[in-house]
Structure 1
Amino acid sequence: MLLDTASLYFRAYFGVPDSVRAPDGTPVNAVRGLLDFIARLVQDHRPDDLVACWDDDWRPHWRVELIPSYKAHRVAQESEQGPDEEETPDTLSPQVPVIVDVLAALGIARVGAPGYEADDVIGTLTARASGPVDIVTGDRDLFQLVDDARQRRVLYPLKGVGTLQTTDEAWLREKYGVDGPGYADLALLRGDPSDGLPGVPGIGEKTAAKLLATFGDLAGIMAAVDDPGAKLTPAQRRRLYEARDYLAVAPKVVRVAADAPLPEFDAALPTEPRDPAALEELAARWGLGGSLQRLLAVLPR
């Protein structure tokens, strides 16, 4: 089981009231909400391995070089020395180091890669895995990794993590008319304002799906643009031609990496805390209470 950790702690932050606080009054709603999420996922799905995948760089420079608008609207402060700072709520940012410390004390693997997003970590671990993989994320971009033959599916939270949409190839075809790899092509044609991807003007989701159904993939669509006999309307041909520079680089931006340089780590789900003393201190300092106890109760099972 691979967790898109930031996606889940953002969801926890907005789903759990900020009245959930540590003894000193600091909000810990994201911390406790994430612990509850993990406890429920472990209880319901019993993974052998669990990895909290991490954004070492949420807006990699190599993606921005290709498409400068990539996540640009979410930048709080640009940095020349390291990753750009993402705009986050004032009371969420201080909780992220607490999450890091709690995961370490528990012994739950937290894995990132310099210059890569959590999506790329997930893509790399999915490519490496020999057995079934469940990806837990609120980010539809990762639908591109769905692969029934290799038992790769996305568990997409609809309400907390108690209600999860199981995204497999049948669901993708019914909803979007594409398979997993086709979803990446659909997304880059359609565009995604939340990621700053412009898409092709005039090509919406339904048109993109029809083009992919007709021509197979992005390469097939672009070959059709150069084929006078291909069944494209004049407007579609013109729009795709005018967007050819964007479409030449968009696949590298939209498709997750399968070869991110990951550190060595132990993915096995722990049955007991790695550092009980540190965990006890964190629990007391941050008032983790029932959320931590619920997770500790399901780990040995």
Structure 2
Amino acid sequence: MTTTNRVMLVDGMALLFRAFYATAMSNYYMINSKGIPTNGVYGMMKHLFTAIETYQPTHVICCWDMGSKTFRNDLFPDYKANRGAPPEELIPQFDLAKEVVESLGIPNVGQAGYEADDCMGTLSREYSEHSQVFLLTGDQDLLQLLKPNVHVVLLKKGYGNYAEYHEESFTEEKGITPQQMIDLKALMGDTSDNYPGVKGIGEKTALKLLLKYETIEGILENIEELTKGQRSKIQENLDMLHLSRKLAAIHCKADVNCSLEEALFYINDEKMRAKFDELEFKNWEKNIVRM
């Protein structure tokens, strides 16, 4: 199906965090005359405009986490409990980033109780029916959303470096389908999101089992064929396996919507200039937007 719409869904948190830490490592926070640090927002804009220049979307939407607690914490209180509080120089930049995105005429989307991933999943399902969708993120979890018309663009080090995935390239590289990624994470767990999966089963074993049995159900139906060690690990951690799968799956039915009319990418130069100047962004015409 050929479509003229190219919709870019942006993982706001991923861009902001990446940009913040890239300069925070050297204590460069770009504090303006009002005492507000702007390094994360400045770098986020650079990531955003570089990607827009590369992928030429017709529509852009920015998705956000809304608070640190989600339905996943209700299922598993230790979900992401390993993450410390954000640095104090980053905290004022959360709202600032949304303000700047708004000044560009780009809708900010999020729902309390859900992560940005869930919002991106929900919207990508809707738009991919009639448009080409690009998910801009640093988070490999979004690879499970790949399908015809949905591409994942993973940020790599620096600006303008991406690993772009579509359904076929993912399966060629990983050997499994995007959908199987959920079961892969359920088996091996996820240290960054702080859930264990099946203790003692790593990526190598999990991949081997999925290549042979396709799904967790397939593995459980053929559990007698597994080695004694694999069998006992899975049986001892069965509840956690099922719970981990719920935690790993992106929830594509969040209560978010945004019409394509709202998301049409058109920048009011005057509004953008006023916002960038208000924040005292230096050399932005050269570094962020090629005017």
Paired residue secondary structure (1:133):
strand
Report the alpha carbon displacement of residue 160 of structure 1 after superposing the two structures with TM. 2.9
Contact 1:66 1:250 in 2 (8 A): no
Q: Which residue of 2 aligns with 1:176?
A: 174
Over residues 19-70 of structure 1, what are the superposed CA-to-partner deviations in whole Å (9 max), with x where a residue is unaligned? 533234432110110111111111111001111111114430x212322221
Does residue 51 in structure 1 map to residue 71 in structure 2?
Answer: no
The one of 49, 65, 70 equivalent to 2:74 is: 65
189 and 260 in structure 1: CA distance in 2 versus 1, 3 angstrom threshold: same
Tell me which of 11, 30, 45 is aligned to 1:35: 45
Q: Distance in 1 between matches of 2:266 and 2:121?
A: 23
On the 8 A contact 2:61/2:263 being kept in 1, the answer is: yes
Percent of residue pairs bearing the same amino acid type: 32
User: 2 CA distance for matches of 1:287 and 1:68?
Assistant: 41
Pairing partner for 2:241 from 247, 260, 271: 247
2: CA distance between counterparts of 1:211 and 1:142? Answer: 22
Shift of 1:215: 0.5
Contact conserved, 1:126 with 1:133, CA < 8 A, in 2? Answer: yes
C-alpha distance in 2, partners of 1:218/1:109?
A: 38
**Quick one: which of 281, 284, 294 aligns to 2:277?**
284
Structure 2 unaligned regions, length at least 5: 1-7
Conserved 8 A contact 2:29-2:89: no
- 1:142-157 mapped onto 2 (5 Å cutoff): 142-147=142-147, 150-157=148-155
Aligned length: 277
Deviation at 1:292, TM superposition (A): 6.3
1:171 to partner: Cα distance = 4.0
Q: State the 1:174 CA deviation.
A: 4.5
Aligned residue number for residue 3 of structure 2:
none
Looking at structure 1, the residues matched to 234 and 284 of structure 2 have their Cα atoms a distance apart, in angstroms, of: 51
Cα RMSD for the two superposed structures:
2.0
Q: Which runs of 4+ in 1 moved over 4 A?
A: 292-298
Contact 1:36 1:292 in 2 (8 A): no
Closer, same or farther in 2 for the Cα pair 1:93/1:135, shift >3 Å?
Answer: same
Q: TM-score, normalised by structure 2?
A: 0.88
CA distance in 2 between counterparts of 1:109 and 1:57 reads 18
Structure 1 unaligned runs (5+)? 77-86
* Cα pair distance change 1:222/1:290, threshold 3 Å: farther
Paired residue type of 1:10: F
Verify: 1:13 aligned to 2:20, yes or no: yes
Offset of 1:133 from its aligned partner?
1.2
Alignment TM-score, normalising by the size of structure 1? 0.85
Q: Secondary structure at the match of 2:226?
A: coil
One-letter identity of the residue aligned with 2:120: I
Contact kept in structure 2, 1:188 and 1:254, CA below 8 Å: yes
CA contact (8 A) 1:146 1:153 kept: yes
1:88 is the counterpart of 2:86: yes
SS of aligned partner of 2:179: helix
Rounded to whole Å, the distance in 2 between the matches of 1:261 and 1:123 is: 11
